[in-house]
Amino acid sequence: MTAVVTGLAAIGLILLAVLGDLDTAGKAASVVGVVVSLAALLVSVIALFRTGGSGGGSAAGGRRVQAGRRGIAVGGNITGSALGTNSKVTGPPTTPVTTTPIPRNRDDVRARRDGIAAGGDVTDSALGEGSER
Find the farthest-apart pair of alpha carbons in the chain and give their distance in angstroms, rounded.
77
For residue 54, the model assigns a pLDDT of 47
**DSSP string covering 20-83:** S-HHHHHHHHHHHHHHHHHHHHHHHHHHHHHTTTS---GGGTT--EEE-TT-EEESS-EES-EE
For residue 55, the model assigns a pLDDT of 45
Q: Spell out the per-residue pLDDT of the chain, length 133, in tens.
A: 777 887 888 888 788 888 888 888 888 888 888 888 898 899 888 888 775 544 444 444 466 787 888 777 777 777 777 777 788 888 777 776 665 555 556 677 777 887 777 777 777 777 777 777 7
Determine if the pTM surpasses 0.75: no
Helix 22-50 vs helix 2-19: angle between axes, to the nearest 10 degrees? 160
CA dihedral of residues 117, 80, 128, 106 (deg, nearest 10): 0
For residue 60, the model assigns a pLDDT of 44
For the four alpha carbons of 79, 118, 120 and 60, in that order, the dihedral sign comes to negative
For residue 76, the model assigns a pLDDT of 73
For residue 66, the model assigns a pLDDT of 79
